[in-house]
């Protein structure tokens, strides 16, 4: 990596931590070829908490899940405000790719979006009614994609959810989901 100015390094640091909040100061220092102390000072200036605090905020997002269990969200849940929005990131790998092309299969990208659309709803049972989706860009092995689901409106038990997935600032997937919520006790 070429020598970056402090401003360039801090801008890139902020983006990298946004994409992967679980990186340690040591891993970041190695990535930027600077000391751990330099990373700590950069984080302090930018108001970015240390990895333990970032991990705690992710853990509290998982604690608020109602419609799915932690392992059922595809990717890592970053934020969750029930009935409002949710965010997750997914680090792609070769098991997700087409063998010959290193392109990530669409069903992984869709699964991240769909599981986020389920997770954002404050109900015990949530089903996907329909989805209108579009793939905008190719995602390759090693890309980190970040999805955001937003509840656009609610009509009784019917939720209209918009999901947008990005690689950095580039839109790679969009979907408009209609979800149905049901409290499971009613089925008895």
pLDDT of 69 reads 58
pLDDT at 60 over 90: no
Q: Which two tokens stand for residue 161?
A: 């959810």
Assigned domain for 23 exists: yes
pLDDT of 17 reads 83
Residue 11: C-alpha distances to residues 7, 17, 77, 98, 162 (Å): 6, 10, 23, 33, 28
| Stronger pLDDT, 133 or 3, i.e. the higher one | 133
**Domain check: are 116 and 174 in the same one?**
yes
**Which domain covers residue 41, as residue numbers?**
6-48
| Stronger pLDDT, 75 or 70, i.e. the higher one | 75
Assigned domain for 124 exists: yes
pLDDT band at 71 (very low <50, low <70, confident <90, very high): low
The whole-number average pLDDT for the span 21-50 is: 87
Q: What is the Cα–Cα distance from 58 to 77, expressed in whole angstroms?
A: 6
The whole-number average pLDDT for the span 150-157 is: 95
pLDDT of 187 reads 46
């Amino acid at each position: 990596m070429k020598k970056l100015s402090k401003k360039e390094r801090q801008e890139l640091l902020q983006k990298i931590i946004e994409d992967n909040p679980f990186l340690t100061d040591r891993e970041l220092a190695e990535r930027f070829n600077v000391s751990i102390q330099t990373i700590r000072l950069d984080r302090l200036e930018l108001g970015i908490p240390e990895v333990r605090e970032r991990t705690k905020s992710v853990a509290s997002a998982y604690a608020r899940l109602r419609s799915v269990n932690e392992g059922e969200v595809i990717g890592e849940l970053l934020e969750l405000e029930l009935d409002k929005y949710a965010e997750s990131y997914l680090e792609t790998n070769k098991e997700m790719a087409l063998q010959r092309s290193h392109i990530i299969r669409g069903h992984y990208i869709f699964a991240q979006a769909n599981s986020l659309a389920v997770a954002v709803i404050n109900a015990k049972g949530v089903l996907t009614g329909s989805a209108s989706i579009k793939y905008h860009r190719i995602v390759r092995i090693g890309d980190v994609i970040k999805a955001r689901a937003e509840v656009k409106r609610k009509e009784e038990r019917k939720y209209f959810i918009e999901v947008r997935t990005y690689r950095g600032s580039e839109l790679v997937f969009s979907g408009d989901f209609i979800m149905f919520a049901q409290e499971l006790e009613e089925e008895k």
